[in-house]
Structure 1
């Protein structure tokens, strides 16, 4: 899954298990998730892994969404084929495959040196079990199948059996290539370790060159520099090159591509730096192809919708600090604000508390919408559009809470009617925005590592707001008050109802509206943090930092202003501020890094 969850939660736990157990647990769990209804959507939701169309590759007549693949050593038992195909890889390597199952390999994880040692590199299920596994759990990306070193006859048999599942084959340079070439029309890559091995085969007998990631009985991978020199050595053949191994950070993959590799497999980097590595590499490649900032049609309508939310928040804040009630509220109650104050000053202050809290969240949400529209949607960032319209849709839907509490607020209705056209126009105009994203992160720097924690804090904060909004919305249309509210009011619900039977509905309207606003704000914060964290994206840091201030200031400040200072009641808000501050501090150096120019 994404970097923030892998490095913060899963990697520390998995690295306490044996390598084999950790590998099986991870791959089997992810594969089961993919097989569930909407399971692949869950992976996409959390990881947003799909690569930009700008980086697709065409190799020997086969199109891949990305030039980045995953080594067959990551999943020799084919336990996670469908899951791996959802992580942003352009293709999946399988094998090497032999006729009979190969014995289990011993795996040694060298954590300090970030290397993986194997007793041998030929563990596999055997051809029949491989066919069964690929038939049951076929990946939806191209498949590169490596054939184990055996006799020519056995290799021909393997190829014929596996041909329905293979987009390319890899065979050893020491075998009878002409005989293999005659046995299949599927492109054949020949595995070579140096120019001498390449010189021993005829160019017309193969379609591409495969540079292996390691050697038998040797711990670790070829050094990256060695792999780059190998690429330069075999490049004069003019054939496509697949370079396997040695990639631990996006810059490693770019170095191999710059040297002449057409496809790049990752292996140990995937284990040590997580399933987010292919996404980071894809975004680094896409960064090179990014065009000048666009003025995406429809962005300004989205911006104006956000401005409408912001403006309504300021108006609601002014009302909450002054009159508290509007004319439609007084007509609904059949009472003036002076009569309410005469009945209970605490009740009047409590209504002010609800409305100011709502206003603060609206100001924060409006600011987040505006920033997403200007810095994200305007320049064609598909993820920003997705965040905007998911949150805004939920915001509009909370209008229907009135069914639960029975008060159709005409001001709320007018507000929705005014901003809805901007929402619809922006949604329609941006509906064909291309998928994929780009980023400039190249290195596993200290700032990048710290940002994983900061990103996690923001995601938890957004999730906390989302959960709180759901709870408050539910309370708003059911019980309306919590124990601490009644303690401040010094009234029981039946006393309020007996004084005016419309009171509860009006307060429920405010409570449910506040809960609905929190849901939208929580989605905004959570998804901006989940999908928008990229090195040098200063606007993300400013958006989350500035956007949090109005909500916190209003939500906590109004409690002290009216004297509703129950520390148990305020504890969740204090915890939210802690998450916010940790997110701001730990993400600063990564997000505020100066951007480099595309190479």
Structure 2
């Protein structure tokens, strides 16, 4: 039904408008008596063999929703009915910000891909924290993806990450430091070794001073070289990270079927979806082999089928996340992956 009816209707709308329409309708539908049970019956699939314990957290299944879909933690209760083992909200910045000018989200159907330059549009850490504090479903594991405000200079970036961490620490189960989005000017410069160590050390110092520290992860770009990935592993060890998220969107445009003039017309932004699948898997495999499996990896990038998810897990990921595949394939993809994992 999603592919034959819902998706064609949504894909006739502007991508960002369609996104908000889905949010509004899912919110309304969830208020109807019996709606939650109906959605669980259609999309939720749980089995004891799917459970995972990763960085001290017990996940009912290894399929999560990546950051960027529910930036403001508006739909966590509703998303829990669709079978996800965890949901990562954000990216959240200390202060609210509108993000980049629209249009800023584009579909590439020939490539089953998206280009986005959203620019960390979000309601700010205080508003998101208040929303999470009021959620009904307390069983769903929530990750908090944090970033810096656009107008904060890189020299003070650590202050923003610490502020976002402090605001969300009581309402999320784990944190992801996002320095790999291509849509905030200068942000990726924070992936360089010296500034990244400084940033992570400051966040981790606040984290470890808490009675119950949260697992702290780092989300990395797929465009890093092997030497840079080696640096990431050293940094992860030095700053006592709990794991990595591999990978974010790419600035590359190689091998797309969509005509070059069309892609160029969309302008800058991060590419996600099927074209990212192979490179994301390569990065996961490299990090897993180099770390000898000692560092848990959440695999993301180009998962559009159960086979894609199995590929990421075989490469060394312990959990996987959907975003673009969820938009193209629909909510049934979560169930398909979990059923395939249970059969395996």
**TM-score under structure 2 normalisation?**
0.76
**Residue in 1 aligned with 2:245?**
210
Q: Give ranges in structure 2 of 5+ residues lacking alignment.
A: 150-156, 180-190, 208-212, 252-267
Question: Which secondary structure does the structure 1 equivalent of 2:58 belong to?
Answer: strand
Q: What whole-Å deviation, never above 9, does each CA across 1:550-584 have from its counterpart, x for those lacking one?
A: xxxxxxxxxxxxxxxxxxxxxxxxxxxxxxxxxxx
Residue 130 of structure 2 corresponds to residue 74 of structure 1: no
Residue 4 of structure 2 corresponds to residue 8 of structure 1: yes
Query: Counterparts of 1:192 and 1:44 in 2: how far apart (Å)?
Result: 33
Q: How much does 1:48 deviate? A: 4.5
Query: Counterparts of 2:119 and 2:301 in 1: how far apart (Å)?
Result: 13
Task: Check the 8 A contact 2:62/2:320 in 1, yes or no.
Answer: yes
**Residue in 1 aligned with 2:261?**
none
Q: How much does 1:188 deviate? A: 0.4
Query: Counterparts of 1:117 and 1:44 in 2: how far apart (Å)?
Result: 31
Task: Check the 8 A contact 2:301/2:322 in 1, yes or no.
Answer: yes
Q: How much does 1:279 deviate? A: 0.6
Q: Give ranges in structure 1 of 5+ residues lacking alignment.
A: 289-599
Q: What whole-Å deviation, never above 9, does each CA across 1:367-392 have from its counterpart, x for those lacking one?
A: xxxxxxxxxxxxxxxxxxxxxxxxxx
Matching residue within 179, 196, 201 for 1:178: 201
Compared with structure 1, are the counterparts of its residues 280 and 198 closer, same or farther at alpha carbon in structure 2 (3 Å cutoff)?
same
Matching residue within 207, 220, 229 for 1:192: 220
**Residue in 2 aligned with 1:315?**
none
Task: Check the 8 A contact 2:51/2:59 in 1, yes or no.
Answer: yes
Compared with structure 1, are the counterparts of its residues 197 and 154 closer, same or farther at alpha carbon in structure 2 (3 Å cutoff)?
same
Task: Check the 8 A contact 2:148/2:160 in 1, yes or no.
Answer: no
Q: What whole-Å deviation, never above 9, does each CA across 1:279-334 have from its counterpart, x for those lacking one?
A: 1011111111xxxxxxxxxxxxxxxxxxxxxxxxxxxxxxxxxxxxxxxxxxxxxx
Q: What whole-Å deviation, never above 9, does each CA across 1:160-211 have from its counterpart, x for those lacking one?
A: 1101121110114524322221212101012233414414515152111121
Query: Counterparts of 1:114 and 1:148 in 2: how far apart (Å)?
Result: 27
Q: How much does 1:262 deviate? A: 0.9
**Residue in 2 aligned with 1:233?**
286
Question: Which secondary structure does the structure 1 equivalent of 2:71 belong to?
Answer: coil
Question: Which secondary structure does the structure 2 equivalent of 1:220 belong to?
Answer: strand
Residue 47 of structure 2 corresponds to residue 52 of structure 1: yes
Question: Which secondary structure does the structure 1 equivalent of 2:111 belong to?
Answer: coil
Question: Which secondary structure does the structure 2 equivalent of 1:230 belong to?
Answer: helix
Compared with structure 1, are the counterparts of its residues 57 and 199 closer, same or farther at alpha carbon in structure 2 (3 Å cutoff)?
closer
**TM-score under structure 1 normalisation?**
0.45
The aligned runs of 1:141-180 (5 Å cut-off) are 141-149=140-148, 151-171=157-177, 172=179, 174=196, 175-180=198-203
Q: How much does 1:121 deviate? A: 4.7
Q: What whole-Å deviation, never above 9, does each CA across 1:393-424 have from its counterpart, x for those lacking one?
A: xxxxxxxxxxxxxxxxxxxxxxxxxxxxxxxx
Compared with structure 1, are the counterparts of its residues 219 and 161 closer, same or farther at alpha carbon in structure 2 (3 Å cutoff)?
closer
The structure with more radius of gyration: 1
Structure 1 or 2: more helix by fraction: 1
Residue 96 of structure 2 corresponds to residue 101 of structure 1: yes
Task: Check the 8 A contact 2:40/2:83 in 1, yes or no.
Answer: no
**Residue in 1 aligned with 2:131?**
133
Residue 82 of structure 2 corresponds to residue 83 of structure 1: no
Task: Check the 8 A contact 1:27/1:83 in 2, yes or no.
Answer: no
Task: Check the 8 A contact 1:198/1:234 in 2, yes or no.
Answer: no
Question: Which secondary structure does the structure 2 equivalent of 1:99 belong to?
Answer: coil
Higher relative contact order (CA 8 A, sep 6+): 2
Q: How much does 1:127 deviate? A: 0.8
Query: Counterparts of 2:236 and 2:81 in 1: how far apart (Å)?
Result: 37
Question: Which secondary structure does the structure 2 equivalent of 1:223 belong to?
Answer: helix
Compared with structure 1, are the counterparts of its residues 181 and 247 closer, same or farther at alpha carbon in structure 2 (3 Å cutoff)?
same
Question: Which secondary structure does the structure 2 equivalent of 1:176 belong to?
Answer: helix
Please list every run of at least 4 consecutive aligned residues from structure 1 whose deviation after the TM superposition is greater than 4 angstroms. none
Query: Counterparts of 1:38 and 1:142 in 2: how far apart (Å)?
Result: 23
Aligned-residue Cα RMSD (Å) equals 2.0
Residue 270 of structure 2 corresponds to residue 272 of structure 1: no
